[in-house]
Chain A
Amino acid sequence: MKLIIRQYVAGLRERSELDAVLPDLLSQMGLVVYSRPGRGTRQDGVDVAAVGSLDGGPEKVYLFSIKAGDLSRKEWNGDSIQSLRPSLDEIIDSYIANRISPEHRKKKIVICVTFGGDVQEQVRPQLKAYIKKNTNRKVSFEEWNGDKLASLIQSNFLREDLIPESVRSNLRKTLALLDEPEAAYGYFATLAETLDGTFSNDAERIRAMRQLSVSLWILFSWSRELGNLECAYRASEITILHAWNIFRFFGGKNTKASEACRDALISIFQAYRQINTEYLAKIIPHLQSLHALSAAVQGGSSLDVNFKMFDLLGRIALSGLWSYGAALQCAGDDKFRSDQLLAEAAGTAAGVKALISNNPVLYSPIKDDQATDIALAAFLMLVNGDDRLALGTWLREMFQRIRLAFATNERYPCTKELYSDLLEHPVSKEAKYRESVTNASVLYPLMALIATLLKDDKLFTDLASLQSEILTYSNFQLWFPDDATEDNLYTNRDLHGISLCDLSLQSGPEELLKQLSAECDQSPQLWKLSCVQQGWWQLVLVACRHYRLPIPVHLLKGLGETTESGEENSNTGAE
């Protein structure tokens, strides 16, 4: 296990990645972290500062200066302001003198030179000389290299008495099968579910959160090294969802335990976003090339391309919606940042458009649950006013293809979900078979809702005629969270939510919107979800994408109108 962790620590490429893990580690070791890394700033050479006692010794102040990877000559004393020696000088000259708070001034200080790898041999004499020169009664130095960090992580998070063997085993299996993402994800999901078990106290909760965090970071590091982030992506989703499930127990309280838990959640979120970013960084260069992503699937069947492209659509759109949500959150306080984030969301929406136009399989949904990916993309395109036209074009072409699929009896959208079933779909041209696999649908009412929001009467009428001419027997429905949703949304342990059934498109778009609005009013549970209440409403989308649930209508139905300035009504999830 230590080798696994050692490789993970060495694989952390950015300082910020080590930053994210170290505070959790220190907290778990019993230290009190009083200074954490902030965005783009360091406090006189210190990345993390903590105070406390280790191994029963006296309380000391621990000041960490962090570098990723090996400590080379360049890292030690290069031109960069991030070089270690200038940072250590700053700590000695400025931090110790000015920034240690009065209650810790009498304590001994340990400056921890921290890096994920090793000290390269050519730097070793200089480091030793520096430490010898600057060590005194008050100040001492410790070298926290990759090996030490690995030992500490193992002993504090993954020790046998802290974590069940099954979890460690699942982590090992996950890492062994990273090039088989489906199987690897299965093991990691079991790991996450096991860690999100029953807790008897807050300490257990906090430890589980930190174990989730470390496991995810380890997985990420290994995945990146291997060049395949697929498992890491899916694992990051289930990790953040389970993490929230643990965190929600604190109900927004401001206790020490809840703070510690929040720190772990943030660490997990950072991993989630980092994985997201790196995943998309691999995809984005190919978005503008016709068929490049479709061809990259390299499967034997068109079904492979279909599955992957719709999945990718949902992922990209979700990323844009995180940016959009973050922009709304900081709109009041930081206009510049908010604009930056909105631009990021708009860029992602442009990516969604490019993905659709260059990978035309996205005009042909085959599974009804691909409505979730379509809804995510539509959500992003609706909030980004410029993309409404493209959204309408996409859905109209999609409708044409669906009509053709029904007319020719070939690969029309159905409720089957298993790959092997869909490979043979449609197995028969008989009406009985068709009815059995199209007897319910979220896809068409969702398309009708979007048509309503876009004021696209032609598309709505076409969908209505599809319902009245071909799918008369089909139960058109949309999903709404209910009282059981809060307890199950993040874990999918049980059924939850209710479906508004037998939606008719025959009375026109206004009537549909009226009906849906009324049901939204009747089902306000969405707004009471802990993640929505605390401003993390995108987690609802993550859960819906991950567990293949329809996106709640509440989030979409208000996106029909645009303001005079061209900005859309926003759905922040916090009514």
Chain B
Amino acid sequence: MNPPDDVLAVLKAAKGNDAVLGALLKLRPTAEAERKSFISQIVSLHNSGEINLFTEFLKLRNDQQAPDFFYARFIFEEAFPKLEGASLEATKCTIHLITEAGQDLVAHTPANAFRLFLDASPTRPNEVLALIEQDPVALSMLLPVTIAAGFARDRASFTKEVVRLSQAPTIDLRRPAVFSLGSIELLEREEVPEEVISALETAASEVNDDGVLAAAVTAATAIFREHRKGASRLEKVIRDALEKGGEWTLDAASSALAIRSGKLGQPLVELLAGRLREVPLANAGTINRIDLGISALLNSASRDVVLTLLEAILRRSPLDKQLKTFASARSTILASPALLSKVVTRWIATGEGTLCKAAADLVQEASHRDPIIEADADELPLKDEGSLAFTARKAVGYLFFWPVTAASFVVSLMRLGAVGSLKQLLLDPLLLNYTGSVQEFLQKRLKSEPEAVSEGIVECIQAMEDYLTKVRSGADLRELRPSEAQRSAFHRSFSQKMSNSFETAQAEMPLLSLVRRSIVLHGRGSVQHVAHQDGSLHRADMMFKTLGAEMEFPRMGRIDEMGMQLRLRRLQAERKAK
């Protein structure tokens, strides 16, 4: 630990060189107890006037140069609640540190420290509120946190203040004020104050500014409680705002779906989801929040609503993006076999290319864990023979490259009927292309399936064996074999392609960019001597593990590649009979 005099001396010296922040970083201990003491020291130095942290931190830039912006800012956040000084200086410094952080996920954390700073003195919320009102363009960013602090101190007067400001002529003041209406903290059974609802109604009905409408949506959803007095009025506020609002409002709706999905109730979820279908695909942030909302609601009573929302967005998405942008929803679906089966069946049964492709994306990821996915009969709108056969063809067309999944899906449809037409599909293209894995799967299934299905499977396996017997009859035709030169050319090309895809895969693995890689030329393990801080050496040995992946290529990929593609495309392109 550094004695206070040492810290002061270092900082004074650094001040001369305009390097206080760098010195602070150097002085900051890593152990928590020591760090707290260090923070107390610099707070004392600031409060005694030896240094001015606000002035110093106003100089901090997020420009990839030393001192590190976020590490340095963290010192400020730790010290801030105990600092004394002018509210204006503190407010400006907070805004500077927030805006300088840009789009970083933790950009707004100084606001939390600012709230603690406000809470530390009963007069500060009023002082800051006055400052904001004087210069809303520069300072309104901190209005919500100031209002929240004010609510905690004196809810009645701050409610009046925020209602007043929500109708202020300056839009820069009005937006955060309306937003702040949602900051009011209510007790468990407490109803939303009438003046807050009225202010929101005014904002939603009388204003056309997208920012104000977005703030109205955020505030209304924040204080909304289903089945409570005022719920219907708040719902109307949200509906009005969504009707008039633009992208900002949509973003607010997406945030509401993401953050408050559990408290909104199904009607409000439907309301938000209905409007969110139109979200511009370029708004990645909004899409991300919708993804979070969908993910949160997939296992709730609102599942159908959010699935419909997801489907609507997928239909408008480019095929190469699709589910990639819905990482959370995808992960939630994949985590539950029942939900996965439901979603895959639902999407395959539609026959729509976009949704079938999305189902295939899910299967691609799921097949690593458990390749067996059975159709969920509840998700099949029709169960007549024609509809089952249509769904099976779609499943084969889109899930062809995950043959066991496709086969398990088709077999589960066979249980619902249409054994005759589905067994042919099971044979060709599935069994004839994947004589290994699909046959193995079907053999395992034979005993557990109903008699009609088992019989169909036996016929398929027999037909496949007959086919293979004939195919193998030509195996000794040496005249037809490719030349050595062609074989070598193929192997070279194949190795190159494998190597390229390995490199591409490596490039997409963030973990690899965090670790140092080294090449070991011989042996089955490695030993290193690692130095400790005290200079002693520790012998660390590590045995290698072998990793491998097995892949079965469809036979037709080699025998008739274009034919296979054409067939798959025909299966994929088939439309549902009206």
- Seen from chain A, the residues whose Cβ lies within 8 Å of a Cβ on chain B are 179-183, 227-230, 233, 279, 282-283, 285-286, 289-305, 307-308, 312, 359-361, 363-364, 400-401, 404-405, 408, 410-411, 419-420, 423-424
**Which B-chain residue is minimally distant from A289 (CB atoms)?**
B470
Q: How far is the CA of A179 from the CA of B484 in the complex (A)?
A: 10
Q: Could you list 16 examples of A-B contacts with CB < 8 Å?
A: A180-B483, A180-B484, A182-B486, A228-B478, A286-B473, A291-B560, A292-B473, A295-B559, A296-B481, A298-B482, A300-B482, A302-B558, A302-B560, A360-B560, A404-B569, A420-B489
User: Which of B470, B472, B480: most chain A Cβ within 10 A?
Assistant: B480
Which of A295, A361, A419 interacts with B486 by CB under 8 Å?
A419
Q: From A232, which residue of chain B is reached at the shortest CB distance?
A: B479
In the complex formed, the residue of A with least CB distance to B562 is A364
Size of B's binding interface in residues, CB under 8 A: 35
Which of B482, B487, B562 has a CB less than 8 Å from the CB of A308? B482
Cβ-defined contact, A286 with B474, below 8 A:
yes
Asked if B493 is at the interface of the complex by the 8 Å CB criterion, the answer is: yes
**CB contact under 8 A between A291 and B483, given known A299-B490, A420-B493:** no
Judge whether A424 and B493 touch: CB under 8 Å.
Answer: yes
Assess the A296–B559 pair: CB atoms within 8 A. Answer: no
Alpha-carbon gap, A180 to B481, bound state (A): 10
Does B153 make an interface contact (CB < 8 A)?
no
Beta-carbon contact of A300 and B477 below 8 Å: no
Interfacial chain B residues near A279, Cβ < 8 Å: 479
List 17 additional contacts besides A180-B484, A282-B477, A308-B480; criterion CB under 8 Å.
A182-B486, A233-B479, A290-B470, A291-B467, A291-B555, A294-B559, A295-B559, A298-B481, A299-B482, A300-B482, A300-B490, A302-B561, A304-B486, A305-B559, A305-B560, A307-B482, A408-B565
Does B557 reach chain A (CB closer than 8 Å)?
A: yes
A229→B561 contact, CB < 8 A: no
**Which chain B residue has the least Cβ–Cβ distance from A181?**
B483
Q: Contact partner of A305 among B470, B489, B494, B558, CB < 8 A? A: B558
Q: In the complex, what residues of B have CB within 8 A of residue A361's CB? A: 559-563
The chain B residue sitting closest to A229, CB to CB, is B479
**Nearest CB in chain B to that of A423: its residue:** B493
Contact A286 B490 (CB under 8 A): no
Complex CA gap A156/B478 in Å reads: 34
Cross-chain contact of B487 among A282, A299, A408 (Cβ < 8 A) = A299
Cα-based distance from A286 to B477 in the complex (angstroms): 10
Beyond A180-B483, A404-B569, A410-B565, whether A299 also contacts B558 by CB under 8 A is yes
Q: A282-B479, A302-B558, A411-B562 are in contact. Are A295 and B474 (CB under 8 A)?
A: yes
**Nearest 3 interchain pairs by C-beta:** A296-B474, A182-B483, A289-B470
B493 contacts A295, CB within 8 Å? no
Shortest B555–chain A CB gap in Å is 8
State whether the Cβ of B505 lies closer than 8 Å to any Cβ in chain A: no
Question: A302-B557, A401-B566, A411-B562 are contacts. A296–B475 as well, Cβ < 8 Å?
Answer: yes
Cross-chain contact A295 with B479 (CB below 8 angstroms): no
Assembly CA distance A301 to B563 (angstroms) = 14
For B481, give the chain A residue with the smallest CB separation. Answer: A298
Is A293 within 8 A of B477, CB to CB?
A: yes
- Which of B472, B476, B478, B484 is the one whose CB lies under 8 Å from A230? B478
Decide if A298 touches B486 in the complex (CB within 8 Å). no
Question: Chain B: interface secondary structure?
Answer: helix
Residue B471, interface by CB 8 Å: yes
Contact B563–A401 (Cβ < 8 Å): yes
Evaluate whether A419 and B489 lie within 8 angstroms (CB atoms) in the complex, with A182-B483, A228-B478 already known.
yes
Q: In the complex, what's the smallest C-beta–C-beta distance from A137 to chain B, in angstroms?
A: 54
B527 within 8 A of A: no
Chain B positions within 8 Å of A290 at CB level: 467, 470-471
A283 partner residues in chain B, CB cutoff 8 A: 477, 479
Asked whether any CB of chain A lies closer than 8 Å to the CB of B509, the reply is: no
Q: Which chain B residue lies CB-closest to A421?
A: B489
Give A179 to B473 CA distance when docked, in angstroms. Answer: 20
Give the chain B neighbours of A180 by CB distance below 8 A.
483-484
- Please tell me which one of the listed residues A182, A229, A298, A363 contacts residue B562 in the complex, with CB atoms under 8 A apart: A363
Q: Is the CB of B489 within 8 A of A292?
A: no
Q: Are B474 and A423 in contact (CB under 8 A)?
A: no
Q: Are A410 and B562 within 8 A (Cβ)?
A: yes
Which B-chain residue is minimally distant from A279 (CB atoms)?
B479
Chain A residue numbers with a CB within 8 Å of B487 are 299-300
Q: How far is the CA of A448 from the CA of B297 in the complex (A)?
A: 59
Residues of A within 8 A of B316 (CB): none
Complex CA gap A411/B569 in Å reads 16
A188 to chain B, nearest CB (A): 15
Chain B residues with Cβ below 8 Å from A296 are: 474-475, 477, 480-481
**Any chain A CB within 8 A of the CB of B491?**
yes
In the assembly, what is the distance between CA of A297 and CA of B478, in Å? 8
Instruction: Give the docked Cα–Cα distance between A298 and B475 (Å).
Output: 8
Q: Which residue of B is nearest A404, CB measured?
A: B566
In the assembled complex, which residues on chain B have CB atoms less than 8 Å from the CB atom of A408?
Answer: 565, 569
Tell me the nearest residue of chain B to A407, going by C-beta. B569
Chain B residues, Cβ within 8 Å of A424: 493
A295-B474, A308-B482 as given contacts; A364 in contact with B558, CB under 8 Å: no
Near A by CB (< 8 A), chain B positions 437-483 give 467, 470-483
By the criterion CB–CB under 8 Å, are A299 and B481 in contact? yes
Measured in the bound complex, the distance between the Cα atoms of B477 and A411 in whole Å is 27
Task: For residue A187, give the distance in angstroms from its CB to the closest CB of chain B.
Answer: 14
Interface flag for B33 (CB, 8 Å) = no
Give the docked Cα–Cα distance between A233 and B475 (Å).
Answer: 19
Q: What B residues does A300 contact at CB under 8 A?
A: 482, 487, 490-491, 494, 558
* Interface residue B485 (Cβ < 8 Å from any Cβ of A): yes
Question: In B338-393, which residues have CB < 8 Å from any A CB?
Answer: none
Instruction: Name the distance in Å between A274's Cβ and chain B's nearest Cβ.
Output: 15
A393 to chain B, nearest CB (A): 14
Contact partners of B557 in chain A: CB under 8 A: 302
Nearest Cβ distance between residue A178 and chain B, in whole angstroms?
10
* A289:B471 contact, CB within 8 angstroms: yes
CB distance from A476 to the nearest CB of B (A): 22
CB distance from A90 to the nearest CB of B (A): 41
Interface residues of B in 480-510 (CB under 8 A from A): 480-487, 489-491, 493-494
**Across the two chains, which residue of chain B brings its CB closest to A403?**
B566
Q: Once the chains are docked, how many angstroms separate the CA of A214 from the CA of B560? A: 41
**Which B residues touch A419, using CB under 8 A?**
485-486, 489
Contact check, B473 vs A289: say whether CB atoms are below 8 A apart: yes
Residue of B with least CB distance to A363: B563
Task: Decide: A295 near B562, CB < 8 A? Known: A180-B483, A228-B478, A230-B479.
Answer: no
Closest to A292 in B: B474
> What 1/0 flags go to B563-578 for Cβ under 8 Å of A?
1011001000000000
- Name the B residues within 8 Å of A363 (CB-CB): 560, 562-563
Q: How far is the CA of A364 from the CA of B563 in the complex (A)?
A: 8
Most-contacted residue by chain A among B470, B475, B478, B565 (CB, 10 A) = B478
In whole angstroms, what is the CA distance A300 to B487 when docked?
7
Inter-chain contact A293/B489, CB cutoff 8 Å: no
Q: Quick one: closest A residue to B494, CB to CB?
A: A300
The listed residue (A292, A400, A410) touching B471 by CB distance below 8 A is A292
Asked if A404 and B565 sit within 8 Å, CB to CB, the answer is yes
CA–CA, A230 and B478, complex, Å: 8
In the assembly, what is the distance between CA of A182 and CA of B350, in Å?
52
B490 to chain A: closest CB distance in Å? 4
Among B182-209, those with CB < 8 Å from A are: none
Encode B290-308 as 1/0 by CB contact (under 8 A) with A.
Answer: 0000000000000000000
**B residues less than 8 Å from A230 (CB atoms):** 478-480
User: Which residue of the partner chain A has the closest CB to B485?
Assistant: A182
> Once the chains bind, are B490 and A301 in contact (CB under 8 Å)?
yes
Q: How far is the CB of A189 from chain B (nearest CB, A)?
A: 14
Contact: B486 with A299, CB < 8 Å? yes
Contacts of A303 in B (CB 8 A): 490
Contact A289:B478 (CB < 8 A) given known A302-B561, A304-B490, A363-B563: no
Assess the B478–A227 pair: CB atoms within 8 A: yes
Contact code string B228-244 (vs A, CB < 8 Å = 1, else 0): 00000000000000000
Q: Which one, A297, A364, A405, A423, contacts B489 given CB within 8 A?
A: A423
